[in-house]
Amino acid sequence: MRMTKTGARVPVTRTETLPIRSGDDVVRIRQAVRTRAIEAGLGLVDQTKIVTAASELARNALDYGGGGEVRVDVLQEGMRKGVRLSFSDQGPGIPDIQKALTDHYTTGGGLGLGLGGAKRLSNEFHIESAVGVGTRVTIARWK
Amino acid sequence: MANEGTGALVRVVSEEEGTILTEWLGLLKSGGALQTGRIREAELQTQAKTVLGQLRDALASGGSNADLEAYATLRDTLGEISRSRAIQGFTPTDTANFVLSLKEPIFSSLSRSHANDAKTLAAAILSTSHLLDQLSLHTMEVFLQSREDVIGRQGQEIAELSTPVVRLWDGILALPLIGTLDSARTGVVMENLLQAIVDEEAEIAIIDITGVPTVDTLVAQHLLKAIAAARLMGADCIISGIRPQIAQTMVHLGVELNVVSKATLADAFALALRRTGRTVVRKQPVSPSAS
Ligand SMILES: Nc1ncnc2c1ncn2[C@@H]1O[C@H](COP(=O)(O)OP(=O)(O)O)[C@@H](O)[C@H]1O
Ligand SMILES: [Mg+2]
């Protein structure tokens, strides 16, 4: 079993894994995350936040990681419900994570706001990356 | 053995063409080929007759492998039929059955003519089956390809349809964006917008994003590019329809569009009128009772 620091011990009421291979997959991921966020009872603002963060991270996995997958978990801890997303790719990895998180830093001609933006849009954010091995970004948003 | 079988097949199809055609059409009809009303009896008859005739000619060349050059005409005809069926909305089953239902009539003709030669009969049935399977797969490939073409074309049409540039007033344009702004569509959107700015000599372009479900940094970048390009063409942009939850998300992302934004398209239009030196006034005072 793979463990992540983000909500590691929280019971998962539902889980699914979606591929990230094309721009269409990114659209599908946004839709799936929206559905799960509604299921977890997230309000409109929180839904929009996690869907937007998902869009950023899925796009990064596609554009920089050469594609990968996302695991979507609906969490429940007592009365607290939430959604956790774990994006992983086997791409080149990120040599300097601090730099990548810096606003406006981009190696791909983007706005350089995706990674930092996803962090600000989430309640929990965890990133691990190894050069030549790949990248995993896990975020969670609670109701 | 294969040759023996092919020989028998060649003979049966040329000698009993009429019987086979009649039986084949009977099967097609009882199988419901005409029921959906997508094709008329006369058309089905012509198709069956043409296909059988071309099969006979191809067989006469001596082989029963659909990849042979002799089968090129037949493959083309079947491709044409498949294409038209894909467009007419036939199911894949209907399309595959057209060729596959030719097996039975040929098998019965073979059985009649080779009743006392089990070995040749078996070989002939094997060649027939193999050949018709090949041809049926070919029709399916063309059918699926045609369906994909249709879907691809519809996608393109939707991309263009859903990005109209609307002229609201002299020099004032609106671009109501609806749906996902993927890269392919964004290209069309930008092109349409810039062309319209030139054509209308527009001063103000209102980009309305009420219908855009998610504004992430990629969408924001597309918007920034459109705004910059419009500016180069001499038009100022106003963004309208940024819903509260989208506005909040954009702040967290750190995205700044650096243009005037208005809650609704109506507000943006009113501002555009003011900026171009126009005012909207009510012609007569409204009496309290009339509302
Ligand atoms: N999954 C990933 N694999 C490798 N590099 C990545 C990945 N995600 C982000 N990066 C790096 O971090 C940089 C910043 O990412 P981001 O903040 O999303 O901005 P942008 O996508 O606009 O470049 C990227 O330009 C890229 O160099
Ligand atoms: Mg990015």
Ligand 1 centre and the CA of A83: distance in Å?
23
Ligand closest to CA A127: 1
CATH number for the domain harbouring residue B34: 1.10.490.10
Q: Has residue B288 been placed in a domain?
A: no
Instruction: Collect all residues with Cβ–Cβ distance below 8 Å to B96 and sequence separation of at least 6.
Output: B136, B139, B140
Task: Write down the mean pLDDT value for chain B.
Answer: 90
**Per-residue model confidence (pLDDT) at position B1:** 41
Q: Residue B236 sits in a domain of what CATH number? A: 3.30.750.24
B178 lies in some domain: yes
State if residue A114 touches ligand 1 by the CB under 6 angstroms criterion: yes
Single out the residue of B169, B164, B118 nearest to residue B8, CA to CA: B118
Strands A68-77 and A12-20: antiparallel
pLDDT in tens, B183-196: 677 778 888 899 99
- Tell me, yes or no, whether B286 lies in a domain: no
Q: Same domain, yes or no, for B37 and B85?
A: yes
Convert the pLDDT of each residue in B248-291 to its tens digit: 999 999 999 999 999 999 999 999 999 999 988 888 877 766 54
Q: According to the model, what pLDDT value does residue A13 have?
A: 87
Candidates A111, A122, A123, A125, partner chain B, best to mutate (most B CBs within 10 A): A111
Q: How far from A69 is each of A25, A34, A122, A142, B277, CA to CA, in Å?
A: 10, 17, 19, 22, 54
| Pocket probe mutation, ligand 1, options A60, A98, A101, A136, max atoms within 8 Å of Cβ | A60
Specify the pLDDT at position B89: 82
Reported as a single tens digit per residue, the pLDDT across B124-180 is 999 999 999 999 999 999 999 988 888 888 877 776 666 789 999 999 999 999 888
Contact A87, A137 (CB under 8 A): yes
- Does some domain include residue B36? yes
- Indicate whether B145 and B12 sit together in one domain: yes
- Are B141 and B176 found together in one domain? no
pLDDT of A2 reads 44
Q: Within a domain: residue B161?
A: no
Are residues B114 and B188 both part of a single domain?
Answer: no
Which of B156, B185, B219 represents a domain boundary (last residue)? B156
Examine the domain organization and report whether B132 and B16 are in the same domain: yes
Provide the residues around ligand 2 (an ion) whose CB is within 5 A: A 60, 114
- A39 in Cβ contact with A93 (< 8 Å): no
User: What does the pLDDT read at residue A5?
Assistant: 57
CB contact, 8 Å: B247 with chain A?
A: no
* Residue B98 placed within a domain: yes
Please tell me whether residues B133 and B256 are part of one structural domain: no
Q: What is the rounded CA–CA span in Å between residue B225 and residue B207?
A: 12
pLDDT at B228 over 80: yes
Residues B131 and B199 in one domain: no
Q: How far apart are CA B173 and CA A95, in angstroms?
A: 46
One domain for residues B111 and B250: no
Domain count, chain B: 2
Residue B43 lies in a domain: yes
**B91 within domain boundaries:** yes
Residues B223 and B118 in one domain: no
A134 lines ligand 1 (CB under 6 A): no
Check whether residue B148 and residue B179 sit in a common domain: no
User: Does residue A115's CB lie within 6 angstroms of at least one atom of ligand 1?
Assistant: yes
Q: Supply the range of the domain harboring residue B145.
A: 2-156
Confidence of residue A52 (pLDDT cuts 50, 70, 90): very high
Q: What pLDDT does residue A76 have?
A: 92
Give the CB-side neighbour count of residue B163, counting CA atoms within 13 A. Answer: 24
Which ligand approaches the C-alpha of residue A105 most closely?
Answer: 1
Residue B283 in contact with partner chain A when CB distance is under 8 A: no
Tokens representing residue A3 in the block:
């463990």
A135 lines ligand 1 (CB under 6 A): yes
Task: Domains for chain A: give ranges and CATH numbers.
Answer: 2-142 (3.30.565.10)
Q: Which atom of ligand 1 is nearest the CA belonging to A135?
A: 1
In this complex, the residue of A45, A51, A117 whose CB is nearest that of residue B248 is A45
Long-range (24+ apart) CB contacts under 8 A made by B88-97 are B88/B38, B88/B39, B89/B38, B90/B36, B90/B38, B90/B143, B92/B140, B92/B143, B92/B144, B94/B33, B94/B36, B95/B139, B95/B140, B95/B143, B96/B136, B96/B139, B96/B140, B97/B28, B97/B31, B97/B33
Separation of CA B7 and ligand 1 centre (Å): 66
* B144 and B170 inside one domain: no
Are A45 and B182 inside 8 Å of each other by CB?
no
Domain shared by B181 and B52, yes or no: no
**What pLDDT score does B88 carry?**
83
